[in-house]
Structure 1
Amino acid sequence: MRESVRDAGLPSTFRSPWFVGFSAVAILHLILNAADAVPWDGITKVMLAPILAAWVVDQGGPRIVAAALIACAFGDLFLIWDSTFVIGMAAFAIGHVCFIRFFLSHGALREIRRRPWFLCAYAVAGIALVSYAWTGLEPALRIAVPVYAAILVGTASTALAYNTITGIGGALFLASDALILLGQANKWQPAAAGIWIMTLYILALLLLTVGILGRSSTANRLLTPTL
């Protein structure tokens, strides 16, 4: 008989050594970030997404998702320096396009057409955020930010259409980048903004990966009959 969804899905995912390794690096990074331990915090930050990409490959997951995570790693690398901030945004944009492509290929557009309200809500939130930050943005960012915001809204919407776990991950990614944008525009940020940004980002990457791997694992096992 077939395995249950519970047995085939997320619980086995958390037993992976890649998950353990990611968790260890994430905790170390947050400690270093809080201590402002440059450049070590930057090194651990750049390690996060590649570990998840290796996990996706190890689990036989979608290669386009691994590519998205590698693009995020390059984004993390270029965001270390202010002079390459726009290049970092471009790298993240490529990663988001990969995520969107994956979600669309798995029925996200059909779900969005059925329930368009969450796309509308994200679009309104994105427009409001960019409008609020607009006056504080440098001229070089006034073209890049609206384009990136639109792509990020696409990720958040299609991720929610895929499943709840990836949907939460997409929302947290949007929240993390929103705090970065507010900092770039010299607008309000919460105390210890760096910790909040990285905590939200780490959870976003993890939930996007877990949500995709968990669903892929469940689908593969349910399609394979056992004696």
Structure 2
Amino acid sequence: MKDHDLAHARPWLLASLFFGISYVFVEQTAMLGGLSILWKGAGVALLLPYALRWRAVRMRALIGLMLGFYAGGDVVLEFDLVNGAFLFVCGHIAAIIYFWLNRRTAPTPSQRLLAIVIPFAALTIGWFLAPTLGDEAGLLVYVGFVSLMAGTAWYSRFPRYRTGIGALLFLASDLFLLAREGGLLADAIAAWLVWPLYYVGVFMMTTGIVQRSRATAIDGKQEAAL
């Protein structure tokens, strides 16, 4: 990507950081009323133009669907829990497809093992949390999708310590959310865990994808020049 393209992309990233980081304080103080819902959606929504501006990023339609559904889910959850969760499941499906299509060509045994362990561990935790919420089947289905997203992200060619850990933070956020809804986690504690882990997770996933895509494109150009 050329320097002027980089300059055009960075403001979207900075704007996303502003809305994403500040939302936890906006939510706590309730100072914006109904506008806080749009503030919430802006954090992830602004990652969309940032990610899609990079020419090196392949399969941008799937990235757009993933981030678009996540941002939409952030807003809709404020009105309807079921439809909001449905949008997140759609985002997870797009992410699972994207990460699987970009899986590692030569993963180590530990990478394979962790990609399998993540869904099983998450479903086990979800099994204990679900009875407290009264919708075991629906919650386990959702946990299955978000955990598969995290597992495929870890198995993908993208940086494990950015995209992989970001996906695990996303998963942890949802598990803390379930614990809060089931009365196992105090609202005051959950307020400082659920949103920050989720937003930072999506942020790390997105920037990890961009980072590896740019590096691959640069390496390809250097090889072609030899």
Q: Distance in 2 between matches of 1:190 and 1:128?
A: 23
Which of 42, 47, 56 does residue 37 from structure 2 map onto? 42
Count of residues in correspondence between the two structures: 214
Q: 1:220 to 1:47 in 2, by over 3 A?
A: same
Q: CA deviation at 1:189?
A: 4.0
Equivalence for 1:97:
93
Find 1:72's aligned residue among 46, 70, 73: 70
Gaps of 5+ in 1: 1-7
Runs of 4 or more consecutive aligned structure 1 residues displaced over 4 Å after TM superposition: none
| Shift in Å, 1:186 | 2.2
**2:62–2:95 contact (8 Å) kept in structure 1:** yes
CA contact (8 A) 2:20 2:44 kept: no
Contact 2:180 2:187 in 1 (8 A): no
Say if 1:78 and 1:88, in contact at 8 Å, map to a contact too: yes
For the residues of structure 1 that align with 2:100 and 2:94, how far apart are their CA atoms? 10
In structure 1, the partner of 2:150 is: 156
In structure 1, what is the Cα distance between the partners aligned to 2:113 and 2:198?
Answer: 25
- Among the aligned pairs, what percent are the same residue? 21
CA 1:215 to 1:185, structure 2 compared with 1: closer, same or farther past 3 Å? same
Counterparts of residues 202-213 of structure 1 (less than 5 Å)? 202-213=199-210
Which residue is 1:193 aligned to?
Answer: 190
* Counterpart mapping for 1:1-227 below 5 A: 16-37=10-31, 38-60=33-55, 61=57, 62-81=60-79, 84-108=80-104, 111=107, 115-138=111-134, 141-162=135-156, 163-164=159-160, 165-189=162-186, 191-225=188-222
With over 3 angstroms needed to count, the CA separation of the structure-2 counterparts of 1:34 and 1:112, relative to structure 1, is farther
C-alpha contact (below 8 Å) 1:112/1:161 kept by paired residues: no
Q: Tell whether the 8 Å contact from 2:19 to 2:39 is kept in structure 1 after alignment.
A: yes
Residue 70 of structure 1: how far off its partner (Å) = 0.3
Structure 2 residues not aligned, in runs of 5+? none
Counterpart-to-counterpart distance in 2, 1:108 and 1:153: 18
State the Cα distance separating 1:34 from its structure 2 match. Answer: 2.2
Aligned counterparts of 1:119 and 1:194: Cα–Cα separation in 2:
29
**Preserved contact between residue 65 and residue 91 of structure 2 (Cα < 8 Å):** yes
2: CA distance between counterparts of 1:149 and 1:182?
13
In structure 2, C-alpha distance between the alignment counterparts of 1:156 and 1:42, rounded to whole Å: 26
Deviations 1:109-141 (A, max 9, x none): 863877432133313321222122122113xx3
Higher relative contact order (CA 8 A, sep 6+): 1
| 2:111 and 2:154 in contact (8 A); partners too | no
Distance 2:189 2:30 in 1: 11
TM-score by length of 1: 0.84
Whole-angstrom CA distance in 2 between matches of 1:112 and 1:73: 33
Residue pair 1:99, 1:155 contacting (<8 A) in 2 also: yes
